[in-house]
Chains A and B, each alone.
Chain A
């Protein structure tokens, strides 16, 4: 994947993970999580690179519900 990533953004996101779970994590695990966050950021950048229009909606899994139907 070639989409660019912002190191500052990755630092901020890693800080969120450290804030939530840091007590459980070793230094090595935090390094692995940084690589995981970088990969997520790359995936997200690849998705954001595709223009979408207002009418581009997800395939609808949700349907309105009535118990008597």
Chain B
């Protein structure tokens, strides 16, 4: 059995039944990471020694009848902002920190180890998760992330390697993080599935802090079902992260055939998207009509993007105050990251607090709209992957209007991005389902239903 581009459930069952050796599986993906990872600037560290030790342990446990579940013996990669013990660097994608090490594993890494998963790589990311305001792809000491769908196509960020490594079949799944767009963007540009959980669903202990009130961790994988299996393993409270709430989550993988969904579309949500994205989204609305109803919804007039952006800029400036004030940011890769953050000294405390005071209104308005729906749908990203040498936004003003990202992250709501076909240039487009707080199972069900009647997620780049 060739294990590359297989869904987790299929790999897990083969491992459980003894048809697939965890050690062989680890070797296969380690070789792919070492051979193909550099092509996409996808990898910081291949964790060969740790991976083989974990794979041998999994093999012995399963042979002894102690099967831990569907991730037992399955390789994965982690964005390189998750702390790992054992001398494995955790670089945060930043050249000045390329030798940084921790003496403990992040909670997510520990939970995946408890589930029997095998860490095969620390994956590339935009330096400091993009917190210094990068505006073009070359913003990591490992080079610009490259989408396996085109040698000149950006992988998206900041979870660049988490997207490209899954898309290229270098790992069966990966962990990424999102503050605003950092899971959905690489999922879209790389043509994979990415789940941003509700804020507080997954512990961030041991993860680099970019914005304490916005940061989330979540999986990128080939399918929505894969993402559900991974979330099941990593969700839950953690005394070491006060924001990780004691709210039970169990992945509900019940069949979706025949289930009818209520989808909403924010009026003009794709109006400023690139033409190819708009066209793909228009086509997807016809397909969604086979799964349920699709209705237009209207949001109250609130400064959604200003709320999220001001919070992001202020908290990131505080999180990296030492690097900014010392001038250490001059050692970062992207030229704009050497100085852009200095402007944030001009954010007034009362404006940051005002943004935080407006946040409950954003959350209430989002919940009002979502309370009658299963999910809002929109393009996963308003643009397709940009060329590697092109700015994708101005230094200060953010991306093309991204009201879904602004609301979803300010309100801490779950969203999943799924492949939605290709442009004429062969680049992936994406569709997102955004749900009510704590409704991961609903957006996962909608995404599974989508993937049950489409084949976009079954297409893979020609990677040898």
Residues of A participating in the B interface, judged by any CB pair closer than 8 Å: 1, 13-14, 16-17, 20-21, 24-25, 29, 32-33, 35-44, 46-50, 52, 56-59, 61, 63
Q: Cβ of B348: which chain A residues have Cβ within 8 Å of it?
A: 44
Which residues between 336 and 367 of chain B lie within 8 Å of chain A, taking CB atoms? 336, 338-340, 342-348, 351, 353-361, 363
**Is the C-beta of B242 less than 8 angstroms from some C-beta in chain A?**
yes
| B313–A25 CB distance below 8 A | no
Provide the main secondary structure of the chain B interface: helix
CB-defined contacts of A43 to chain B, threshold 8 Å: 303, 306, 309-310, 351
Pick from A36, A41, A58: contact of B359, CB under 8 Å = A58
- Segment with Cβ contacts to A, from B25-33, B103-111, B392-400: B392-400
The one of A33, A52, A59 in contact with B354, judged by C-beta atoms closer than 8 angstroms, is A52
Q: 14 pairs across A/B with beta carbons < 8 Å?
A: A1-B305, A25-B342, A32-B336, A32-B395, A36-B396, A40-B344, A40-B346, A43-B351, A52-B354, A57-B357, A57-B360, A59-B360, A59-B363, A61-B242
Contact pick for A32, options B309, B339, B357, CB 8 Å: B339
Contact between chains at A33 and B340 (CB < 8 Å)? yes
B422 on the interface (CB 8 Å rule)?
A: no
A2 to B338, CA, bound (A): 29
Q: Does B318 contact A (CB under 8 A)?
A: no
Is A56 within 8 A of B360, CB to CB?
yes
**B303 engages A35 (CB within 8 Å):** no
Known contacts A1-B305, A32-B336, A58-B356; can you find 16 more A-B pairs with CB under 8 A? A16-B345, A17-B346, A21-B327, A24-B327, A24-B330, A33-B343, A35-B396, A37-B346, A40-B346, A43-B310, A44-B347, A47-B355, A47-B358, A49-B303, A59-B363, A61-B243
Distance A25 CA – B353 CA, assembled complex (angstroms): 30
Contact call B303/A58, Cβ cutoff below 8 A: no
Whole-angstrom distance between the alpha carbons of A23 and B310 in the complex? 26
Q: Which residues of B contact A56 (CB under 8 A)?
A: 357-358, 360-361
Residue of B nearest to A44 (CB): B351
Given contacts A17-B342, A44-B310, whether A35 and B395 have CB atoms under 8 Å apart is: yes
Q: Which residue of A lies closest to B343 (CB)?
A: A36
Q: Which residues of A contact B336 (CB under 8 A)?
A: 32
Which 3 pairs across A and B sit closest by C-beta, in order of nearness? A36-B343, A58-B356, A39-B396
Closest to B303 in A: A46
Q: Chain A residues with Cβ under 8 A from B299's Cβ?
A: none
Q: Smallest distance from the beta carbon of A4 to chain B beta carbons, Å?
A: 14
Residues from chain B with a CB closer than 8 A to the CB of A24 are 327, 330, 339
In the complex, the answer to whether A48 meets B340 with C-beta atoms within 8 Å is no
